[in-house]
Amino acid sequence: MVSNSLKMDQEEIIEALARLRQEQPDNPEYKKLRRDLPKDWPV
């Protein structure tokens, strides 16, 4: 699971993705995190 490989819990992942999506949608970190998640992930 992504949260295990990043040593973050699911809530931290959701918060980080929401923040990155809002603040920096073209950020490479956001794109990598998002790419590693299923397409139906909530963020």
What's residue 2's pLDDT?
A: 58
* Sign of the torsion angle spanned by Cα atoms 20, 22, 25, 18: positive
What does pLDDT average to over the chain? Answer: 80
User: Residue 8: inside a domain, yes or no?
Assistant: yes
Q: Is there a contact between 8 and 14 (Cβ–Cβ < 8 Å)?
A: no
For residues 18 and 6, which has the higher predicted lDDT (pLDDT)? 18
Residue 10 pLDDT level (bands cut at 50, 70, 90): confident
Considering the domain boundaries, does residue 42 fall inside one?
no
Whether the full predicted model's pTM is greater than 0.85, yes or no, is no
Q: How many domains does the chain have?
A: 1
Structural domain includes residue 19: yes
Between 3 and 20, name the one with better pLDDT: 20
Question: Does 43 reside within a domain?
Answer: no
Domain-embedded: residue 9: yes
Residue 18 lies in a domain: yes
Q: Residue 31 is part of which domain span?
A: 2-35
